[in-house]
Chains A and B, each alone.
Chain A
Amino acid sequence: MTAIKKTDLLIAGVGGQGTLLTGKIIAAAAQEEGYDVKTSETHGMAQRGGSVVIHVRIADRVCAPLVPKGEADFLLAFEKLEALRFLPWLSPEGMVVVNCQEIKPLPVLIGVSTYPEGVAGRLRARSRRVIPVDAAQMEPVRRHPRTANVLLLGILARQLGLPQESWRRAISRSLPPHHHRINQEAFDAGWSFQPARQ
């Protein structure tokens, strides 16, 4: 069992972006290493384009399934506005991995609200460790757009301290066999991603 300290994460996205699945893979990887793990999900609205958030907690012994506000070590956001929405959960020392994708919510589409500007700056104002990623422009996401979540997970995974082999097994356990290869490729691309110097 690799020794990692107690780790709290939030995964935020929009219904249909694979948020639930990403939470499952992280939990499976932690379980592979013998940790206690709890996750908590928002359901029901996920298919209808609403905001979706998953809490994942890893430790020797986890109590509450929800990360208390202000205590998340990591925020993995598949969409910029959702990163901002769940930023209050991040601890002052926490890290953000954020996809550069913008998905306009209905109030913006119909012109009664505007999409927030300067998201990266607002994230940096709270966290010194922000990794922005344009996942859509990276291989293999260009070929398989639906693997963006797993590529971003690969980037986060590198920071978590669990061995690569546990992630490999977690991906196999969490996805149907015909999706293993492309998702493993996407994960590996994230794992070896070099963030631009800020």
Chain B
Amino acid sequence: MTSSTTKLMSGNEAIARGAYEAGVIVGTAYPGTPSTEILEQLSRFPGLRAHWAPNEKVALEVGIGASLAGARVLVAMKHVGVNVAADPLMTLSYTGVGGGLLLVSADDPGMHSSQNEQDNRHYARLAKIPLLEPSDSQEARDFVIAGLELSERFDTPVLLRTTTRISHSRSLVKTGVRNEIDRKGFQKDPAKYVMIPGYARRRRPLVEKRLAGLRREAERSPLNRTEGEGTARGFICSGITYQYVKEALPGERILKLGFSYPLPEKMIRDFAATVKEIIVVEELDPFLEEQIRALLPGVPVTGKQLFPAIGELSVNLIRRGTAGEGSVASGDPPETTELPARPPLLCPGCPHRGVFYVLRKLKLTVPGDIGCYTLGALPPLKALHTCICMGSGIGIAVGMERADPAAAASTVAVIGDSTFFHSGITPLVDLVYSGSRTTVLILDNRTTAMTGHQDHPGTGVTLQGATRPPIDIEALCRAVGVRRVFTADPLQLRELESLIKKELTAGEPSVIIAQRPCVLLGRTPSAPLRIDAQKCRDCGLCLALGCPALSRFGDCASIDPLLCNGCGLCSQVCRHGAIGATIPEEGDSN
């Protein structure tokens, strides 16, 4: 009974599908969990052009250009990426669009793979643009199509906000066919597109007028609807919380907001008139609750009194929050305690391991940022000391040196190759221009590893596998004024250590490019190493590498031959010559 047009899709696949059907011809993004698969899926459809931008600001700017040229556009990023793209977004709200432009923000309540859990619904209010929040994959597809139409009708960018549980959950989606849109081409109109103060002041009232129009549209939008029975209480939900309320409290009266900014004020007042009490159910900030309370003086409105503002909500949290004071009925069963954690870790053979081993040995201060290499902060390496945002390590190292010039001799900034192109070049410019002499280590593993191996301008390979001129990182660093630029192999510990030591005292800025491809990129592994039990003194030095292939077995270290790929780091740190490729296996006759 499977219909040929019903498919099981993740929210991200459904967003790409909706964009395809809506006639989108340009897609841009920078990878970031939980948004990455949107552009990857989009790139598989015929008839549209999708590419990875070096960062989210560029992604949105390219999106703006394509929109002004009359194309329908989808731009996707994770929540913190919108911070990077916020500059163009705020003024795009004034200029409006050409072809429809939908910006997808994939938020991460609970911080499954993010550095914060900011609630990006605030961006819709800040930019005065419409906000759509789907509650499953079907709505993800439908809302993309609705959002692009809204964008063109109201001459506005539209923010579609998902969360991890929408983007990375799969549910059934009824699909349609592609609707080709005639592209109109760029219409030169300086008063609309050149935001100098004189023109921007003229656009400003139009933004308010548009917002009023959007509010009227939200009142009659099919994306907002009421359901259920009862007069005691009414629930107002958006996004995934709608599904949680439906399951926890079947049949209750619900106002489901799919088009959740600007709020349909009359609809909310009418809904409130039918019930005694309003309960707003939303993850993270009381974004809806505060606006609704202001709208309904005298009506009991609760929300964050019942449900946490931190992390994700769940069916059980809804049950508990609405069960009445002091009730723990249907609470979670007790946690299983004292289990060892299983954190993600640097893979066996990971080129980053050698770098962090040396940095720890030299007891350096290491500002870093975001990528697999952030795992260098965890035990036993513990050799990365700050992570704020993409590209932040270099600027922080400069700041440490500005505060204490002596710090340069004991500080190195680390940054990955993809992150360097994202936002590491401008702080490197600052390093030179400010007269700092901090050493920068670019951990060049030839890919964007953490998000699943996307190519980037340094590899020159595109999302579709075409090749462009790859950026020469060495030449780029020299061009911004760094004279001491070296490329080193991160798996040659002694050479790397002496190079880092030398550059720390160089008296001018240095860049060391620690270059070796990510071990997951399909390189043929070397033979696994073995440990000679006769020579092993159980000193634990090799275990300090934090390699998953190494463990203590009795009073001797041991290597798991299925995990080891022969990178050789452990044989370099062993002081007893106990580790090597040619050590006979126990029981071998020769």
Q: Is B55 among interface residues, defined by CB-CB distance under 8 A?
A: no
Closest-CB distance, A167 to chain B (whole angstroms)? 15
**Chain A residues near B540 (CB-CB < 8 A):** 111
B-side contacts of A82, CB under 8 Å? 342
Q: Which of B340, B378, B379, B520 contacts A108 (CB 8 A)?
A: B340
Query: How many angstroms from the CA of A48 to the CA of B273 in the assembled complex?
Result: 53
B226 within 8 Å of A (CB atoms):
no
Kindly state whether residue A47 has any CB partner on chain B within 8 Å: yes
Set of chain A residues within 8 Å of B8, measured between Cβ atoms: 27-28, 31, 37, 39
The smallest beta-carbon distance between B308 and chain A, in angstroms, is 15
Tell me which residues across on chain B come within 8 A of A43, comparing CB atoms. Answer: 33-34, 112-113, 168
The listed residue (B113, B244, B378, B520) touching A64 by CB distance below 8 A is B244
Contacts of B355 in A (CB 8 A): none
Is A192's beta carbon under 8 Å from chain B?
Answer: no
Interface size class of A (residues with CB under 8 A): 35 or more
Q: How far is the CA of A64 from the CA of B313 in the complex (A)?
A: 11
| A15 cross-chain contacts in B, Cβ below 8 A | 344
One of A113-121, A147-155, A156-164, A180-188 at the interface = A113-121
Q: Can you list, as one digit per residue, whether each of A27-50 has a CB less than 8 Å from chain B (1) or not (0)?
A: 110011010111111111101111
Q: Is B324 an interface residue (CB 8 A)?
A: no
Considering residues B240, B345, B378, which has the most beta carbons from chain A within 10 angstroms of its beta carbon? B345
Assembled-state Cα–Cα distance A83/B344 (Å): 18
Write out the residue numbers on chain A whose beta carbons fall within 8 Å of the beta carbon of B34: 43-44
Task: Report whether B2 and A31 are in contact in the complex, using a CB–CB cutoff of 8 Å.
Answer: yes
- Check B342 against A81 for contact (C-beta < 8 Å): yes
A84 interface contact, C-beta 8 A: yes
Q: For B170, what are the chain A residues with a Cβ–Cβ distance below 8 Å?
A: 24, 27, 37-41, 65
Specify which of A36, A39, A105, A110 is in contact with B341 (CB 8 Å cutoff): A105
A177 lies within 8 A of chain B by Cβ: no
For residue A37, which residues in chain B have a CB less than 8 angstroms away from its CB? Answer: 8, 170-172
User: CB within 8 A of A70: which of B332, B451, B544?
Assistant: B332
- Contacts A28-B8, A111-B552; A69 near B333 (Cβ below 8 A): yes
Cβ-closest chain A residue relative to B548: A49
Given pairs A109-B552, A110-B551, A114-B340, 17 additional interface contacts (CB within 8 A): A15-B344, A31-B8, A31-B172, A37-B171, A40-B170, A44-B112, A49-B344, A51-B342, A63-B243, A64-B246, A66-B169, A68-B315, A81-B340, A106-B378, A108-B340, A109-B543, A116-B340
- A residues near B (Cβ < 8 Å) are 1, 14-15, 24, 27-28, 31-32, 34, 36-45, 47-51, 62-66, 68-70, 81-82, 84-85, 87-88, 104-116
